[in-house]
Amino acid sequence: MHSVVSLSAAVVATLVIVTLRARRKSREAGFPQGPAPLPVIGNALEIDASRPWLTFTKWQATYGDLVYCNVFGQDVVVVNSEKVAEDLMDKRSRNYSGRMDMSSILDPFSGAIILGAVFDHEIDGDPENDAMLQTVVKGTDYAVRIASPDWIALTTILPFCKYIPTWLPGGALNAPNGKRIMNEMLDIPFDITEKRVDAGEIGHCVVLDAFERFRGTTKVSDFENIMKHACGTAYAAGEETTGSSLIVFTLAMVLHPHVQKRAQEEIESVVGSDRLPDFNDRPSLPYVEAIFRETARWRPIVPLAIPHSATDEDMYDGYVIPKGAVIVPNVWAMSRNEEKYPFPETFNPERFLDANGNLAEEMPNFVFGFGRRICPGRHLAKNSVWIAMAQILAFFSIEKAKDAFGQPVEPNPQWTQGVTSYPKDFPCAFVSRRA
């Protein structure tokens, strides 16, 4: 018994010594402040794998806007401030444009908008039987799943997981199968569209415009491959922000009927009831614009944006950012900046307006990321989300669902976990405002 106790004490003492040495090493190297890492696993156990942005935001209160941690030997620098993020990833984008080494289902609205703009593809009838849509659905869903923090951690610790046969538990991690899915997402929509271009059966879209400008010329080398990846990036990124943002908007309207009513009154005073709002009305609908901006801030769809990596060692504010470090923009913390957004948990569009009801606060563009890793589909997403919000508000009242006794059901949705965060299904009712 005495020997067992002695052994346990020795193990604990060893772990404490190694931990203290690791902490001293990071200080001596001049890294930003952060929690003390454990041997081998670093700070992995301290991070909420399903919602890491909450852990990082908690650390901000202790360690500041720039936090260093280590996950299984990988240096990670978390950026909790919009200013620091702009200083590093915008102003020094050359050094922070590296990608991480990592490889949702499209709802009919966002799928139709994005596939129409990129490929002039119209979804007819049942979306479930639309080959192009379902190919994109499968590829985008796979990309989001494998980029989730828990999956990344698992394949970092156990890299052989990437080769588990698809028919075994965990087979979704199979890298060769994932590569096939992603290639189909790039190839099938492009091949279908190319045939329509050659047959003269396609209207104006991104692909047609690129074909007319560059195909058959020497202006762009490897034209076909570049076009496939550019189009794939556009619809994958745009879909994730478009569909998910509308779900967040719906929840906000259910929870805040007074906000919805004010927006509907503004639309009626500017547009009337004989037509739906269009983009020409946007400058005259400041409160609707404020709802759009507050929706983006209130619940950022991608709370940690797209991770960057440091190409070379760098210095910032007296701290060393090591070469190869993963740079994580904590968009969630930026959206909770109480100096800029008082009472940040409250959905309050008026924070974007002045005393006269005019737009005063800028769009929280940090929700789209920074530098060369900024969301490439942000312009399409901004416009498609705004017009959808405006027209939904004009045509519908979004209300709480009612139970069997006619009593309103208070929504309390669960939130998706992983790269993106938005409400899972919750009860509500879309009631037409027009006869």
Q: pLDDT digit string (tens) for 353-367? A: 999 999 988 889 898
Please name the residues in contact with 327: beta carbons below 8 A apart, sequence gap of 6 or more: 77, 79, 88, 89, 96, 307, 308, 309, 310, 321
In a domain, 115, yes or no: yes
Q: Which of 26-30, 285-289, 322-326, 347-351 has the lowest average pLDDT? A: 26-30
In a domain, 21, yes or no: no
Predicted confidence (pLDDT) per residue in 393-424, tens digit:
999 999 999 988 889 999 888 887 767 788 88
Average pLDDT, the chain: 80
Domain that holds residue 390: 108-432
User: Position 73: which residue type?
Assistant: G
Q: Is this model's pTM higher than 0.75 or not?
A: no
Predicted pLDDT of residue 251: 94
Q: Which of 23-32, 124-133, 204-213, 283-292 has the lowest average pLDDT? A: 23-32
Predicted pLDDT of residue 131: 74
Maximum mean pLDDT: which of 31-45, 152-166, 217-231, 266-280:
266-280
CATH number of 141's domain: 1.10.630.10
- Binding site per annotation, positions: 375
292: confidence class by pLDDT, cuts 50, 70, 90: very high
Q: What is the DSSP string of 229-265?
A: HHHHHHHHHHHHHHHHHHHHHHHHHHH-HHHHHHHHH
**pLDDT, mean of residues 49-55:** 85
In a domain, 175, yes or no: yes
- Binding site per annotation, positions for heme: 375
State yes or no: pLDDT of 10 exceeds 50.
no
Taking the C-alpha atoms of residue 4 and residue 7, their distance in angstroms, rounded to an integer, is: 5
Taking the C-alpha atoms of residue 32 and residue 30, their distance in angstroms, rounded to an integer, is: 7
Predicted pLDDT of residue 110: 52
With the CA atoms of 240, 246, 248 and 253 taken in that order, what torsion angle do they form, in degrees rounded to the nearest 10? 180
**pLDDT, mean of residues 236-264:** 86
**pLDDT, mean of residues 270-298:** 94
Predicted pLDDT of residue 63: 94
In a domain, 98, yes or no: no
Angle at which helices 257-270 and 223-255 cross, to 10°: 110
Predicted pLDDT of residue 155: 66
- For the CA atoms of the chain, what is the radius of gyration? 24
Predicted confidence (pLDDT) per residue in 148-201, tens digit:
555 665 666 667 777 778 777 777 777 787 788 778 877 878 888 888 888 887
In a domain, 398, yes or no: yes
In a domain, 255, yes or no: yes
In a domain, 362, yes or no: yes
Q: Which of 26-30, 287-291, 294-298, 384-388 has the lowest average pLDDT? A: 26-30
Q: CA dist 183 to 144, 176, 178, 376, Å?
A: 15, 11, 9, 20
Which residue, chain included where needed, has tokens 């560059």?
A: 214
Please name the residues in contact with 20: beta carbons below 8 A apart, sequence gap of 6 or more: 36
Structural domain count of the chain: 1
State yes or no: pLDDT of 17 exceeds 60.
no
Predicted pLDDT of residue 177: 79
In a domain, 13, yes or no: no
Q: For a pLDDT cut of 90, what percent of the chain falls above it?
A: 29
State yes or no: pLDDT of 48 exceeds 50.
yes
Cβ-defined contacts of 141-144 (< 8 Å, 24+): 141/104, 141/105, 142/172, 142/178, 142/181, 142/182, 143/103, 143/182, 143/236, 144/104, 144/240, 144/418, 144/419, 144/420
State yes or no: pLDDT of 237 exceeds 60.
no
**pLDDT, mean of residues 110-134:** 68
Taking the C-alpha atoms of residue 47 and residue 69, their distance in angstroms, rounded to an integer, is: 10
Predicted pLDDT of residue 160: 75
**pLDDT, mean of residues 288-295:** 96
Phi then psi for 415, rounded to 5 degrees? -115, 145
Q: Which of 107-116, 226-235, 274-283 has the lowest average pLDDT? A: 107-116
